[in-house]
Amino acid sequence: MNYKTSQEDFETFKEELTYWLGFFGLKTWEVSFYWNDKHIDNRATTEPEVGPRLCKFILTKSKWSYAPDETEIRRLAFHECCELLIAEMAHWAEERNPEGSWDDISHRFIRIMENSVFTLRLDTIENSDKLSTSQQFGRTE
């Protein structure tokens, strides 16, 4: 099947990316969000330019093999934010060892983050109707 993402999916993607950019303190990057089929082989893509600290986050519009749900869109946003989080390390590693396996190493790290930090975020979202805003974000009043 050929499933597509919706405008609502794209808004969720941007919202979740914005959350994680703030969470990780990635405020020195100028980011932009796109919803297109530029990278049709990926569900989402991060295009960082380390020198000028610019980054494009792209959610693929079509060619999905399954219908994405909100959790999947949020997980993709988290994954792409983690790509930016390690972009400088990736840039340095690729320059030092262009034939190395940095992609494998970076994705192992991102999977660990998805299975730990992101899971905590999902729990917070699912329980948000039961928690005050300060409890959701770990603030004490």
- Structure tokens of 77? 């946003």
Q: How far apart are CA 25 and CA 70, in angstroms?
A: 24
pLDDT, one tens digit per residue, over 60-76 is: 998 788 889 999 999 99
For Cα atoms 57, 40, 61, give the angle at the middle one, nearest 5 degrees.
Answer: 65
Which residues face 24 on adjacent strands?
Answer: none
- pTM value is 0.77
pLDDT, one tens digit per residue, over 110-136 is: 888 888 888 888 888 888 765 444 444
Residue 141 inside a domain? The answer is: no
Does the pLDDT at position 139 exceed 60? no
Q: How far apart are CA 29 and CA 55, in angstroms?
A: 7
pLDDT, one tens digit per residue, over 16-57 is: 999 999 999 999 999 999 999 887 788 999 999 999 999 999
Residue 130 inside a domain? The answer is: yes
Q: Which domain holds residue 80?
A: 7-136
Residue 1 inside a domain? The answer is: no
Count how many domains the chain has.
1
